Structure 1
Amino acid sequence: MNLPKVVADLVEAQNRFDSVAYANCFSETALVFDEGKTHHGRKEIEHWIADSNERYKATMKPVGFEEKETESLLKAETSGNFEGSPIVLTYHLEIVDELIQSLKITG
Structure 2
Amino acid sequence: MNLPKIVADLVKTQNSFDSVAYANCFSETAVVFDEGRTHNGRKEIEHWIADSNERYKATIKPVSFEEKETESLLKAETSGNFEGSPIILNYHLVIANELIQSLKVSG
Q: Above 0.5 in TM-score? A: yes
In structure 2, what residue type is equivalent to 1:65?
F
The corresponding residue for 1:98 is: 98
Runs ≥4 in structure 1, deviation > 3 angstroms? Answer: none
Query: How far did 1:18 drift?
Result: 0.2
In structure 2, what residue type is equivalent to 1:88?
I
1:18 aligns with 2:18: yes
Separation of aligned partners in 1, 2:84 and 2:71: 27
| Matched positions, count | 107
Separation of aligned partners in 2, 1:84 and 1:70: 31
Query: How far did 1:26 drift?
Result: 0.1
**What are the ranges of 5 or more consecutive residues in structure 2 without an aligned counterpart?**
none
Q: Deviations over 1:29-74 (max 9, x none)?
A: 0000000000000000000000000000000000000001100000
Q: Normalising by structure 2, what TM-score?
A: 1.00
**What are the ranges of 5 or more consecutive residues in structure 1 without an aligned counterpart?**
none
CA RMSD, aligned part only? 0.2
